[in-house]
């Protein structure tokens, strides 16, 4: 076999859930794999349903001819974003780098295989969108028979060019980042800016529907997609290939994809070793002087270790700290614009006393603060280095106390700042503000302890890429989904109860309940620590 295919096949087999299911005898692990496959199938089904509904809307509006271009643009955009945000975990600074580079493969071969591995892992997303839109397009446009096999074949090449562009940008960022002491600073900042932009899209979409701009938007869709295809040529090639069976467009899309792949990884391969070596090394100050070493508390030392782990990974930083950043931004916006104005925008100027929302302030802040807990991720992030923790002369409970302390260091300051800003803007009385701060502290403690329970209970150490536990881990999902829905319910419940009872008594009641749940979760962590 070709060396590239041997390496790619090995990478796929080592992480294939079906392969693990076939050879694993652990019923619990097999059950998790089945559950994960069912969840993924449901998610793909939802995406396909949405794409079909979108094509139905195009058909009803008489703009079904825009479907092929829209399909190409959507897939290209997703491919670019998925690749750009995963480059620092798949192509560079990945865990098995030392092992792969010791094998008899050229650097460009390893880089190319890691790219193809990332392409195959994301391919189900692209196929779900493309095949669903093909069905909708076929139902309304009634194209020639040849359009279907052309559509199917070119779907596999559509993500190639945007993925290669994103990979090359990631390569440039990694190359530039090697000159910084914090090597992931550029990609982290860009990722956070993008996530904040995505949150702001909610208000743009709301403005479209609120001001009766839907029809005008649909009328311009065909024009917008045509203009986009004129700028982004692969979308135009895909459209011409499907609608006109253009052989030249087919050859251009396939040929440019293959040529760009060869050129990109020829360039990347020349600097591949030096970039990974720089990303894995640690910078030292030139004016460093040896001074007296200070002794620190073990728990604080572990918390500091968690801080270094957080700032050393783009994915961990974005997922672990984004909630705190959003909470701080919410506090600043509320302080500048005004609590009443924000409530009016969210409720579409509904006539009611905005003071009834004051008891919900701690839970509104916690919706962001509790979005993700580092304690749900950090036990699994130890990975194959878990044996080091096992061999240290430190009790497990101390290790988990350090991890929980770091999450408190991360969440409490952001919670306090956002709560104070919202309370000042909403003109909340000082006694109520103090109670809301205490409730917010209790909620941070509960999030920390409950996240640690999920992290230990569903610890996964056999991951190949940290994204598998930071974004796709069972511990994160089990922590996040129930927590999110419960908080949304508590916001509504707090508003309803706040109308019927004193706000201070209500806050005291929730403080007591939260403290009890925190104590139970903490005791559970200590019990699990003895058995892990």
Tens digit of each residue's pLDDT (9 = 90 or more) over 407-426: 999 999 999 999 999 999 88
Percentage of residues in the chain with pLDDT exceeding 70? 78
Q: What's the mean per-residue pLDDT of the chain?
A: 79
Give the C-alpha distances (Å, rounded to integers) separating 83 from 117, 170, 259. Answer: 11, 9, 19
Q: What are phi and psi of 26, to 5 degrees?
A: -80, 110
Share of the chain above pLDDT 90, in %: 15
Average pLDDT estimate for 387-394: 73
Q: What is the CA angle 305-307-312, rounded to 5?
A: 95
Report the Cα 265 to chain-centroid distance in Å. Answer: 26
- What average pLDDT does this structure show over 381-402? 78
Q: State the greatest distance between any 2 C-alpha atoms of the chain, in Å, as a whole number.
A: 79
Query: Which residues are within 8 A (CB) of 13 and not within 5 positions of it... i.e. 6 or more apart?
Result: 19
pLDDT digits (tens, 9 = 90+) for 246-279: 889 889 999 999 998 888 888 877 777 766 665 5
- Count Cα atoms within 13 angstroms, Cβ side, for 327: 30
CA nearest to 459, candidates 384, 517, 408, 388:
384
Contact between residue 416 and residue 440 where contact means Cβ atoms under 8 Å apart = yes
Round to whole Å and give the CA distance between 286 and 300: 27
Q: CB of 448 within 8 A of CB of 408? A: yes
Whether 51 and 136 have beta carbons less than 8 Å apart is answered as yes
Q: Are 173 and 271 in contact (CB under 8 A)?
A: no
The predicted structure's pLDDT at residue 517? 92
Q: The tokens of 24 are what?
A: 């694993």
pLDDT band at 19 (very low <50, low <70, confident <90, very high): confident
Please state the separation of Cα 327 from the chain's center in Å: 17
Q: Which of these, 439, 452, 446, 444, lies nearest to 518 by C-alpha position?
A: 446
Give the C-alpha separation, 88 to 109, whole Å.
18
> Could you tell me the two tokens for 358?
């004051």
- Among the listed residues 282, 465, 484, the one whose alpha carbon sits nearest the alpha carbon of residue 363: 484
* pLDDT computed for residue 183 by the predictor: 47
Angle between helices 430-457 and 474-500 (to 10 degrees): 150
258 phi and psi, to 5 degrees?
A: -65, -45
Measured between alpha carbons, how far is 75 from 52 in angstroms, rounded to an integer? 15
356-370 confidence digits (pLDDT tens): 788 888 998 998 888
Mean pLDDT of 427-445: 92
pLDDT level of residue 380 (50, 70, 90 thresholds): confident
- Dihedral sign from CA coordinates of 382, 385, 386, 389: negative
Q: What pLDDT band is residue 435 in, cutting at 50, 70 and 90?
A: very high
pLDDT one-digit tens code per residue, 102-138: 777 777 788 788 888 888 888 888 999 999 999 988 8
Q: Are 450 and 372 in contact (CB under 8 A)?
A: no
* Residue that the structure tokens 């962590």 belong to: 525
Other Cβ atoms closer than 10 A to 193: 10
Report the pLDDT averaged over residues 304-327.
Answer: 80
Read off the pLDDT of residues 33-68 as tens digits, 9 standing for 90 and up. 787 778 778 888 888 888 888 888 878 877 788 888
What phi-psi label fits residue 179: left (phi over 0), alpha (psi between -120 and 50 degrees) or beta? alpha
Q: Once rounded to an integer, what is the mean pLDDT over residues 450-454?
A: 91
Of 162 and 184, more confident: 162
**Taking a C-beta distance cutoff of 8 angstroms, is the pair 291, 447 a contact?**
no
């Amino acid at each position: 076999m070709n060396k590239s295919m041997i390496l790619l096949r090995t990478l796929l087999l080592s992480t294939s859930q079906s392969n693990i299911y076939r050879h694993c005898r652990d019923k619990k692990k097999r059950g998790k794999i089945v559950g994960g496959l069912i969840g993924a199938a449901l998610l793909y089904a939802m995406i396909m349903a949405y794409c079909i509904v979108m094509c139905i809307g195009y058909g009803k509006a008489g703009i079904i001819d825009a479907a092929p271009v829209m399909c190409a643009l959507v897939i290209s955009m997703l491919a670019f974003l998925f690749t750009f945000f995963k480059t620092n975990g798949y192509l560079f600074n990945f865990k098995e780098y030392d092992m792969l580079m010791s094998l008899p493969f050229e650097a460009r071969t390893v880089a190319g295989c890691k790219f193809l591995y990332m392409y195959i892992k994301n391919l189900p997303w692209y196929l779900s969108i493309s095949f669903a839109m093909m069905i909708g397009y076929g139902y309304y446009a009634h194209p020639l028979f040849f359009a279907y096999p052309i559509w199917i074949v070119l779907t596999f090449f559509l993500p190639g060019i945007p993925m290669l562009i994103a990979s090359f940008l990631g390569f440039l960022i990694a190359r530039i980042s090697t000159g910084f002491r914090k090597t992931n600073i550029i990609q982290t900042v860009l990722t956070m800016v993008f996530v904040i932009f995505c949150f702001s899209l909610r208000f743009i979409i709301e403005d479209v529907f609120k001001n009766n701009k839907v029809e005008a938007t649909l009328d311009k869709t065909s024009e917008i997609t045509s203009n986009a295809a004129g700028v982004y040529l692969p979308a135009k090639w895909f459209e011409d290939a499907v609608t006109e069976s253009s052989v030249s467009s087919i050859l251009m899309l396939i040929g440019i994809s293959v040529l760009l792949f060869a050129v990109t990884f020829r360039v990347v391969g020349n600097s591949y070793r030096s970039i990974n070596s720089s990303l894995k090394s640690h910078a030292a100050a030139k004016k460093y002087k040896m001074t007296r070493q200070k002794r620190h508390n073990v728990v604080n030392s572990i918390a500091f270790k968690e801080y270094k782990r957080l700032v050393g990974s783009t994915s961990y930083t974005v997922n672990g700290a984004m909630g705190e950043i959003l909470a701080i931004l919410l506090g600043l916006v509320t302080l500048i614009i005004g609590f009443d104005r924000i409530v009016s925008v969210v409720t579409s100027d509904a006539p009611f006393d905005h003071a009834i929302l004051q008891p919900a302030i701690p839970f509104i802040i916690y919706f962001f603060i509790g979005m993700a807990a580092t304690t749900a991720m950090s036990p699994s992030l130890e990975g194959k280095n878990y044996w080091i923790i096992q061999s240290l002369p430190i009790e497990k409970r101390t290790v988990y106390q350090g991890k929980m302390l770091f999450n408190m260091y991360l969440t409490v300051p952001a919670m306090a700042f956002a709560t104070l800003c919202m309370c000042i803007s909403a003109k909340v009385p000082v006694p109520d503000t103090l109670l809301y701060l205490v409730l917010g502290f209790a909620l941070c403690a509960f999030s920390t302890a409950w996240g640690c329970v999920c992290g230990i209970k569903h610890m996964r150490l056999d991951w190949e890429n940290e994204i598998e536990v930071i974004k796709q881990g069972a511990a994160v999902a089990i922590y996040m989904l129930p927590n999110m829905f419960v908080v949304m319910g508590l916001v509504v419940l707090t508003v309803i109860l706040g109308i019927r009872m004193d706000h201070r008594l209500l806050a005291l009641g929730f403080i007591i309940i939260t403290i009890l749940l925190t104590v139970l979760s903490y005791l559970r962590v200590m019990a699990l620590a003895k058995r892990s």
